[in-house]
Amino acid sequence: MTQLSTDERQQLAQSVRAACDRLVPEARVRAVAYDGAAPQRGFDAELWKVLCGQVGVTAIGLPEHLGGAGYGASALGVVAHELGRTLAPVPFVASTVFATGLLVAMRDQDPNADRRLTELVEGKRTAAAAVTDDGGLWQRSAVTLAATHTGDGWLLEGTIRHVLNGAAADDLVVAAIAEGEPAVFVLESTAHGVSKEVENVLDGTRPMATITFDRAPATRLSGDGPVDDVIVRNIDLALAVLSAEQVGACERVLEIATEYACTREQFDRPIGSFQAIKHKCADMLVDLEWARSASQAALEAFDGVVGESGWRASMAKAVCSEALRDATHANVQIHGGIGFTWEDSAHLYMRRARTDEVLFGGPAQHWDRLAAEAKIL
C-alpha cells in the first residue's frame, strides 16, 4: 500500500477544497439538501462528477490491481476532511468507502465486479450498503432481510430502514440471512421487486431511504463461511473515514465561531474579548485537536502504521462525534439568537453533527465496545 507524502496530502486536500469552494458554496448546499424541487435531494451529481473525474477521489483507496491508486485509508481521510468542512452532499462514505469496500472484499464471487467497480470509480454509478437496520453497528440479530435460494439464484425479501444515500444509489450491497447465516448480496436498485422511499431526515446532506425487497433477484457475494469479519472491518473503515469528515466540519465550525467573535461587537468591543466567549472557543479548539488525533490514529491503523483498527475506529467515532456536537452547540451560543435562524449556517452544522452522532452507532455504543474489548465490563 502506497503512502502519500506530506506534499501529496496537501495537494490532494487543496484539489478537493478548490472543487468544493467552487461548486458547493453554502447556497448550493442548501438548494441540494433542502429544496424539494432538487432532482436527487441530498446528492450533488455535478460535484460528484468533478470529484470522480478530475480529482479521482473514488480511485484513491482502491487497490492498484483493480485500477485504483492504492493509497489507503489515510488518503481517504484527507478527502473526507475537506468534504466535511463544506458539508458536501456527496456519497463518499456510503459509496466509495463502505459499499465499494464490501464489493472489493468479495469481488471474486461477482461476475460483474470489474464493470461495476470501473463505473463506480468513474462516477457513472454510486452504491449504498444496506447491512443493518437503523444504520447502526453490525449485529446478526439486527439483520432484517431474508434470502431464499431458487433454481435461478437468490431472492431477497424484507424491508430495511435508514440506508445512507440509498435513494440515489444505482447498486445495493445487502446483508441478508441465507440458510440461517448472514450473507452479502449485490443487486441493481432498479431490479424487479425493489422499491425505495425517501425518508424525512434531520440533515439533508445525509439522505437516507427505506428500501423494500419483494422477491428481488440478487447475486450472492459471500461464500459458505461467516462474513461477520468482512462486514465489521468495512464498518470500522467507514467509522474512521467518517471521523475525518467530522474533524473537517468541527474545524470549520471553530473558524466560523472565531470569525464572528472577532467581528461582532457588544458594549463597543468584540465579543471575543469577553472571557466566556474565549473559554468556549478554547474548549472547541481542545476538542478539535483531540478529535484530530483520534481520527488520524484510526486511519493509520487501517494502513498498517499501528495495529488494532477496530477499537481505534470506535474511539475515533465516539471522540469526533462528541467534539462536533459540542462545537456546534457552542457555535450557536456564540452567535446568540442568530444561530437559531434558518438563514445562518450554524444550524446546518448542528444538523450534520446530530446525524453523524448516531450514524453507525452512537458514542455510548462505541464507549461500551471499547470497554468490552479492554475487559472493563
Per-residue pLDDT at 347? 93
Q: How far is CA 145 from CA 105, 152, 161, 268, in A?
A: 21, 19, 11, 62
Reported as a single tens digit per residue, the pLDDT across 326-336 is 999 999 999 98
Per-residue pLDDT at 99? 95
Phi-psi region of 306 (alpha: psi -120 to 50; beta: other; left: phi over 0): beta
Per-residue pLDDT at 286? 97
pTM of the model: 0.94
CA atoms within 13 A on the CB side of 308: 9
Residues in the chain, overall count: 377
Average pLDDT over residues 48-71: 87
341 assigned to some structural domain:
yes
Examine the pLDDT at 26 and tell me if it is beyond 90.
yes
243, 220: one domain: no
CATH number at residue 300: 1.20.140.10
Range of the domain at 349: 229-373
178, 293: one domain: no
Per-residue pLDDT at 374? 73
Average pLDDT over residues 153-179: 94
Are 66 and 104 in contact by the 8 Å Cβ rule? The answer is: yes
Q: Which of 248, 303, 301 is nearest to 75 (CA)?
A: 303
Residue 249: pLDDT band (50, 70, 90) is very high
Examine the pLDDT at 190 and tell me if it is beyond 80.
yes
197 assigned to some structural domain:
yes
Reported as a single tens digit per residue, the pLDDT across 209-242 is 999 999 999 999 976 557 888 999 999 999 999 9
Tell me the three cell numbers of residue 40. Answer: 436527487
100/377: higher pLDDT: 100
Residue 308: pLDDT band (50, 70, 90) is confident
1 assigned to some structural domain:
no
CA 92 to chain centre: 6
Q: How far is CA 240 from CA 80, 252, 327, 363, in A?
A: 10, 19, 20, 14
Are 270 and 263 in contact by the 8 Å Cβ rule? The answer is: yes
Average pLDDT over residues 55-83: 89
Mean pLDDT score of the chain, rounded to an integer? 90
**In the listed set 205, 225, 245, which residue is the last one of a domain according to the structure?**
225
Residue 270: pLDDT band (50, 70, 90) is confident
212, 239: one domain: no
**In the listed set 69, 87, 121, which residue is the last one of a domain according to the structure?**
121
13, 144: one domain: no
321 assigned to some structural domain:
yes
Q: Which of 280, 369, 270 is nearest to 326 (CA)?
A: 280
d(CA 356, CA 366): 13
Range of lowest pLDDT (66-70, 252-256, 289-293): 66-70
Residue 376: pLDDT band (50, 70, 90) is low
Per-residue pLDDT at 223? 61
d(CA 82, CA 105): 27
362, 280: one domain: yes
Average pLDDT over residues 282-290: 97
Examine the pLDDT at 279 and tell me if it is beyond 80.
yes
For the chain, the domain total comes to 3
323, 245: one domain: yes
User: Which DSSP letter does residue 240 get?
Assistant: H
Per-residue pLDDT at 39? 56
Reported as a single tens digit per residue, the pLDDT across 79-136 is 999 999 999 999 999 999 999 999 998 887 777 888 888 999 988 999 999 998 766 7
Task: Work out the number of other CB atoms within 10 angstroms of the CB of residue 103.
Answer: 24
Average pLDDT over residues 144-169: 93
d(CA 88, CA 207): 12
Q: 129: which residues sit within 8 A by CB, 6+ positions away?
A: 94, 98, 99, 102, 163, 164, 172, 173, 174, 234
75, 176: one domain: no
With H, G, I as helix, E, B as strand and everything else as coil, classify residue 35.
Answer: coil
